[in-house]
Every structure is written in structure tokens, then in C-alpha cells.
Amino acid sequence: MIATPAHQHHQLEHKLEITKRLEDLAQEGMLRDPLKVVILNLPDANYCEKRAERVYSAQEDARIQSCRGCVHNGLKSPERMAPEEIDAVIDTFAHQYGTRFVTINGRGDPFHPSLREATLHKICYGAEHGMTAYIFTAGDHLDEETCQTLARHGANIMISLYGNRFLDAGFFEEKHYRTADEVKTALRVQGVLHGVSDTVLAKVKIQDEQGIAENLRRLISTYQQSEHQPEPGTTRIGMNYVVTESDLGDQGAKVRALKHSANEHGIYFVCNVPFERERYDPVTWMRLKTMAEQYSDFGKSHSTTVDGQCQMGAGSGVTVDFNGAMLRCPYMPTSEGKGKFLDLTPAERDICIAKFREETRACVMRD
């Protein structure tokens, strides 16, 4: 069982380490400095096995994609920066813009077998330049070696729950979730797979709930046992939950219990609204926004929200996409790139960054 830190109830909420450090930098005036870029977003190619996962929806009577609605479904990644180009980008931001954090987010699974080596290199090379890594994961490919490397370098981790709707408060009490085979057996017993042959079913990747839970428990346990701990009151692991109509339907019961359990175990918890705002009428959208704020630690809509802005995508942050294109936010389509970073002159880079810094919205994707 994952150990529970001994904290009083009113002290349960922990700030993510990157959040606390950003707040400190804000007090120093660094976030407002037009010559500084505190966060470098380095998302990689859009490789992700999760979009092949299927979960059964009783409401829709169909197998649906576990992460259906992901903003990057269908995004192609035909061209990637070479390792030496990535190093050159990190060198430039460290020496010219005083960058303190490198994030790997916004595209697929950073630990996909095709990306794992590059991801770990970004973490290690960034650390050599005084940059702390902030990584987003949905729980795939978190083997022991990967978890140890992350903990050793003090990487901040955000666990995405968007495609893992099965996870609930029982996760922290060693609840057994269903393996893919157990899901298939249950569906056959229920008659859901009537007429579907074993040959056809073998080609369907049913979500392995228990495997994902074990990966995430391994990650959390590794961090808890690491000798390299953050300062008191902060944590290096967070959970990101996207509120939907189902949460409105149960009046927040699931998310409330999950947040409480996460906080009890020293984990930062934040809620977001879906990306597809156009799918919702204004009243439902406001209810979702209200609920997301209610169940987010410290009332923050983003883990990097400081000075009223998400610092990754709307504040002191710049994205250099997997193909080298400069973007404002790592969740923007790569087609919106402002030119290849390494092809631009220093003056052209400064002009582009200055235009980015004119952004005043809290979030360029959801607002």
C-alpha cells in the first residue's frame, strides 16, 4: 500500500514543486522580465499507444477510445529534431534566456519506446544546465529504471487521468482494477461481445486498468522512497483530472473522494475543463468550470498558474515543437508554428518571443 504522510487535515494540500518555484520567481520579478523565458516546452512526436486502447461504454453500447476527445488525435509527426538540435535548443535557452524548467508535454506518451531515450536525455541534459524537468504521463511504460531516473533528477510529474477514467479513490488503497483479459471475460458474460470472434477480439486493445494502476503505484512509491525529496509543503507528483458531465451527474462525489485521497498521500490535485468548449452549452460549461475550480488544490486551474496565467502556454514560456517550430503553447497545432527556432536569427527569436509575451489570457487554449 502507498504510504500516507502524517499531516493534519488542513495541511493536506501540497503545492507542486514547480508551482512554488514559479511563485518565488514571480516575487523576484523574473516572470515579467521580457528578456527571460522561465519555461521551455519541448514536446516530442505524437506517438501514443493509448489512443489504440478501447473501453466499453455502457451508455453508448460501444467500445470507444480511452482518450477520446484528446486534442492531439490525428496529429502527424513526420519530422523530428535530431538529438544535437535538441541540445542546441536547450543550450540557447539556458544561456540566453535564463530558463529554469524544461517540460515534456502536449504530445503523446513521452515514454513510448520510440521516445523514451530522447525524453530521458532531455531530462538529464536539462539538469546539467540547471533546468528542472516537468513531465506529463498517462501511466504507460513506467518501468523501474524510468521511475528511478525521474526521481533521481527530481523531475516533477503530472499524471493525466483523462484517459484513465477508471481510477478512483481506491487506487490509493491497493484496489484491484481489471486486467484486459478480465474486461474481455466480463463483457462476454454480459453478452456485450456476442458474435465477436476471439480472432477479431484479439486485435482490439482493451485497456489494461490493473497494469496502468501498477505503473502509477510504482512511480509514486519510487518518489516516496527516494533520498531526493522536495522541501516541506511541496510535492513532485500531481494528478490532472478533467471534469465532465458524469461528474456533474454524481455531484462531484468521485472527484471529491479522489482529490481527498490524493492529498492524503502528498499528491497535488488539479482539475481542468475539456478542450472542446464548443460541445457544451454556456450553462453546462460554467458548471464544469466551477466544479474544476472547486476541486483544484489552491483553486488553481493550471499547475503552473502564477500571476493569473498558465506560465507554460501563456506566460513566461516558449514551445519548441518536435520539428523545431516555435509555438506559444505546447497544446497548439504544430501548423501554428512561427518558424524553426534554429533557423531564426537571435533577433528574430527575440521578436517572436516578445510577441508571445504580449499574450494576456490565462490559457490560450481554453479561454
Query: From first to last of its 367 residues, what are the pLDDT tens digits of the chain?
Result: 565 544 443 468 999 999 999 999 999 999 999 889 999 999 998 876 666 666 665 444 445 444 555 544 445 556 889 999 999 999 999 999 999 999 998 677 899 999 999 999 999 999 999 999 999 999 999 999 999 999 999 999 999 998 899 999 999 999 999 998 888 887 777 766 666 666 766 667 788 999 999 999 999 999 999 999 999 999 999 999 999 999 999 999 999 999 999 999 999 999 999 878 888 999 999 999 999 999 999 988 789 989 888 898 888 999 999 999 999 888 887 777 788 999 999 999 999 999 888 877 777 666 6
The residue to which cell 494502476 is assigned: 213
- For domain 9-357, say whether CATH 2.10.260 is its number: no
Segment 271-320, tens digit of pLDDT: 999 878 888 999 999 999 999 999 999 988 789 989 888 898 888 999 99
Q: What is the pLDDT of residue 183?
A: 82
Segment 190-217, tens digit of pLDDT: 766 666 666 766 667 788 999 999 999 9
- Asked whether the beta carbons of 306 and 22 are under 8 A apart, the reply is yes
- Asked whether the beta carbons of 247 and 274 are under 8 A apart, the reply is no
What are the residues whose beta carbons fall under 8 Å from the beta carbon of 40, sequence distance 6 or more?
Answer: 89, 90, 93, 97, 99, 101, 102, 103, 131, 317, 318, 319, 320
Radius of gyration of the chain (CA): 20
100 three-state secondary structure: coil
| The 3-state secondary structure of 30-65, one letter per residue | CCCCCCCCCEEECCCCCCCCHHHEEEEECCCCEEEE
Q: What is the pLDDT of residue 255?
A: 97
Q: What is the pLDDT of residue 160?
A: 92
Q: What is the pLDDT of residue 320?
A: 95
Cα(211)–Cα(179) distance, rounded to whole angstroms?
7
- Which helix (H) or strand (E) segment is 238 a member of? strand 237-242
* The three cell numbers locating residue 71: 486534442
Write down the domain spans for the chain.
9-357
| The 3-state secondary structure of 174-185, one letter per residue | CCCCCCHHHHHH
Q: What is the pLDDT of residue 21?
A: 97
